[in-house]
């Protein structure tokens, strides 16, 4: 056991991350292929190997303690972070107890909702999150081999943009979108009502993982519904929800010439079903209610709506509408725009920081919003952010004491441009998954997630990380690294694309040893 913090720090940084990634991914691909081939016995055996794998344990600990957005969120034990020596101690604990894991209690955090109510986010401890991540490494490839192609939420290699494109394909003028209706389906308290029996019966896993998942579910139960619910805040919860809801996409289908069409899209518990004029909406909703009832859930009658495509509807932060001339239009939704604008106003009007720091804080917010909406119709002053930009310019100009050149430079930095290409997103092919081993397809696809210098660097590096040498896929974000540390030096030789974790280690002054 490593005792000294400095020694533990060096040992952690010098771990063979490249080999760990390769070893885990190889096992996951084998699980995926075994399920696709119908060999469940082999898949279960391989899942046991993942649970016992040192590579998987180390990567799970790194994922929850270094990479995840909520890595600093404490569980019921109050621990927000792990020291390097504690990471090695947790790895030993996962090694000895991974096959018989006992979950601690969950910390409840109230989260306000749009309608004024609150939902309870239940946070596991870091140790429990690490075990869940380890279990997810084994579960995800098995279920990826069975998931419906029109399910896009919380799945590797898939995104909200895929769902956006499906709507365009089904509601465009060539598909007679002007005469179609849409069911905006809302499942009442989905995560709180999922039946535990349904999850356990559909789980493809060996007994050790099943036992741990069962204890995970029971750790977050509501006393009023002891046989229902998954803890929102758990690493594995979105996957369990996808397992329970898998198949709902096939309920509404019809034959078009020689092929079966299933015009439904699901993103986690959000779903849209497109209807032709002759489709019976109530009959479809009855079938869905029957499907959900078997899983302990039901449709929210208050929030579920049947809407004409020409009236428009919101989905995943976008507003979709078929115009009177038959053309399909997608723009940011009103709620999405308001939330974004409020974030910008909060930063711009903050009196505790200067213009330079405001520009640094605004840049990722603006870039992220523009990237999310880059396949929308974004012309016009509202979505081009002219008014927001102008307001920021006034504040910055005042703070720079009317130095117009400095103000202009800060505004360019705060409002980075993103190229728009309306409805040009290329969807993931059919039932393809990153676990199918087609690295050329997935690394090239990943490159399209980035633009500017990051995209150019990935192309120069043949879609590989400039540090560890592994292919860059959607598994982990890619960062652009300035080799000399000077963020004003944009020469090609000074730029390289790195995995986020590799980039973190670069700034610790230590390259990952391959």
The count of residues in the chain is: 514
Q: What percent of the chain has pLDDT over 90?
A: 61
Helix axes 386-399, 355-372, angle to 10 degrees: 170
CA dihedral for 219, 225, 229, 234, sign (positive or negative) = negative
Q: pLDDT tens digits, residue range 192-215?
A: 889 999 999 999 999 999 999 999
d(CA 183, CA 289): 13
3-state class percentages of the chain: helix first, strand second, coil last, to nearest 5: 50, 15, 40
Q: What percent of the chain has pLDDT over 70?
A: 96
Element spanning 120, H or E: strand 118-123
Q: How many CA atoms lie within 13 A of 230 on its CB side?
A: 29
Quick check: 2 pLDDT over 50? no
> Do the Cβ atoms of 58 and 106 come closer than 8 Å?
no
pLDDT at residue 386, rounded to an integer: 92
pLDDT band at 4 (very low <50, low <70, confident <90, very high): low
pLDDT at residue 184, rounded to an integer: 96
In the three-class reduction of DSSP (H, G, I as helix; E, B as strand; rest coil), residue 314 is classed as strand
Quick check: 510 pLDDT over 80? no
> Which of 185-199, 317-331, 402-416, 490-504 comes out lowest in average pLDDT?
490-504
pLDDT band at 189 (very low <50, low <70, confident <90, very high): confident
The closest alpha carbon to 166, from 76, 69, 273, belongs to 273
Quick check: 11 pLDDT over 60? yes
pLDDT at residue 248, rounded to an integer: 96
pLDDT at residue 505, rounded to an integer: 72
If you average pLDDT over every residue of the chain, what do you get?
90
d(CA 288, CA 292): 6
**C-alpha R_g of the chain:** 24
Give CA angle at 39 (239, 43), nearest 5°. Answer: 45
Q: What is the phi-psi region of residue 265: left when phi exceeds 0, alpha when psi lies from -120 to 50, beta otherwise?
A: beta
d(CA 319, CA 330): 6
Contacting residues for 510 by C-beta, under 8 A, at least 6 apart: 10, 13, 14
Q: pLDDT tens digits, residue range 439-471?
A: 888 888 887 777 778 888 888 988 888 888 877
The closest alpha carbon to 214, from 98, 102, 97, belongs to 102
> Which of 31-35, 60-64, 319-323, 473-477 comes out lowest in average pLDDT?
473-477
Q: pLDDT tens digits, residue range 128-168?
A: 999 999 999 999 999 999 999 999 999 999 999 999 999 99
Q: How many CA atoms lie within 13 A of 174 on its CB side?
A: 3
> Do the Cβ atoms of 348 and 340 come closer than 8 Å?
no
CA distances to 2, 61, 62, 79, 411 from 83, rounded to whole Å, are: 12, 12, 12, 11, 39
Q: For residues 184-196, give the mean pLDDT.
A: 90
> Checking DSSP bridges between strand 181-186 and strand 270-275, what pairing results, if any?
antiparallel
pLDDT at residue 509, rounded to an integer: 54
Q: Who wins on pLDDT, 222 or 376? A: 376
d(CA 216, CA 237): 9
Q: For residues 367-382, give the mean pLDDT.
A: 91
pLDDT at residue 249, rounded to an integer: 95
CA distances to 173, 208, 344 from 204, rounded to whole Å, are: 42, 12, 45
Q: Is the pTM of this model over 0.75?
A: yes
- Tokens found for residue 450: 């980035």
> Which of 216-220, 263-267, 376-380, 448-452 comes out lowest in average pLDDT?
448-452
d(CA 121, CA 244): 20
> Which of 99-108, 364-373, 396-405 comes out lowest in average pLDDT?
396-405
- Tokens found for residue 314: 């919101």
The closest alpha carbon to 262, from 271, 246, 250, belongs to 250
Q: Please report the DSSP string for 32-59 in residue order.
A: HHHHHTT-HHHHHHHHHHHHH-HHHHHH
In the three-class reduction of DSSP (H, G, I as helix; E, B as strand; rest coil), residue 482 is classed as strand
């Amino acid at each position: 056991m490593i005792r000294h913090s400095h020694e533990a720090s060096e040992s952690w940084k010098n771990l063979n991350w490249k080999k760990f990634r390769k070893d885990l991914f190889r096992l996951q691909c084998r699980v995926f292929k075994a399920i696709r081939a119908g060999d469940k016995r082999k898949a279960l055996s391989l899942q046991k190997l993942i649970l016992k794998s040192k590579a998987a344990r180390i990567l799970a600990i790194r994922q929850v303690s270094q990479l995840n957005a909520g890595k600093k969120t404490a569980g019921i034990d109050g621990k927000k972070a792990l020291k390097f020596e504690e990471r090695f101690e947790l790895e030993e604990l996962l090694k000895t107890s991974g096959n018989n894991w006992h979950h601690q209690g969950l910390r409840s955090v109230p989260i306000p909702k749009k309608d004024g109510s609150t939902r309870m986010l239940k946070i596991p401890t870091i140790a429990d999150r690490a075990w869940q991540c380890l279990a997810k490494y084994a579960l995800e490839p098995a279920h990826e081999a069975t998931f419906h192609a029109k399910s896009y939420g919380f799945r590797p290699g898939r995104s909200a943009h895929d769902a956006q494109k499906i709507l365009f394909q089904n509601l465009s003028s060539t598909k007679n979108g002007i005469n179609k209706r849409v069911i905006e389906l809302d499942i009442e308290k989905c995560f709180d009502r999922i039946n535990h029996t349904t999850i356990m019966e559909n789980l493809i896993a060996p007994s050790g993982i099943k036992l741990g998942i069962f204890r995970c579910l029971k750790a977050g139960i509501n006393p009023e519904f002891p046989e229902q619910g998954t803890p929102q805040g758990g690493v594995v919860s979105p996957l369990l929800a996808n397992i329970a809801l898998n198949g709902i996409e096939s309920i509404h289908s019809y034959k078009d010439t020689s092929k079966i069409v299933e015009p439904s899209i699901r993103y986690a518990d959000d779903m849209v079903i497109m209807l032709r004029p002759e489709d019976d909406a109530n009959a479809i909703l009855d079938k869905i209610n029957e499907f959900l009832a078997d899983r302990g859930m039901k449709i929210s009658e208050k929030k579920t709506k049947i809407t004409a495509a020409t009236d428009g509807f919101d989905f995943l932060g976008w507003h979709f509408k078929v115009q009177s001339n038959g053309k399909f239009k997608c723009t940011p939704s009103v709620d999405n725009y308001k939330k974004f604008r409020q974030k910008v106003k909060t930063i711009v009007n903050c009196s505790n920081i200067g213009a330079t720091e405001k520009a640094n804080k605004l840049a990722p917010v603006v870039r992220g919003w523009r990237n999310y909406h880059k396949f929308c119709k974004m012309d016009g002053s509202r979505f081009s952010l002219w008014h927001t930009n102008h307001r920021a310019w006034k504040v910055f100009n005042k703070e720079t004491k009317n130095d117009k050149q400095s103000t202009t430079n800060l505004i360019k930095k705060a409002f980075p441009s993103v190229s728009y290409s309306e409805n040009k997103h290329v969807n993931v092919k059919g039932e393809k998954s990153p676990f199918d081993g087609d690295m050329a397809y997935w690394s090239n696809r990943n490159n399209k997630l980035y633009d500017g210098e990051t995209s150019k660097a990935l192309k120069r590096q043949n879609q590989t990380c400039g540090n560890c040498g592994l292919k860059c896929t959607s598994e982990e974000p890619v960062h652009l690294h300035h080799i000399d540390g000077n963020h004003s030096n944009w020469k090609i030789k000074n730029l390289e694309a790195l995995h986020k974790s590799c980039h973190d280690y670069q700034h610790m002054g230590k390259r990952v040893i391959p």
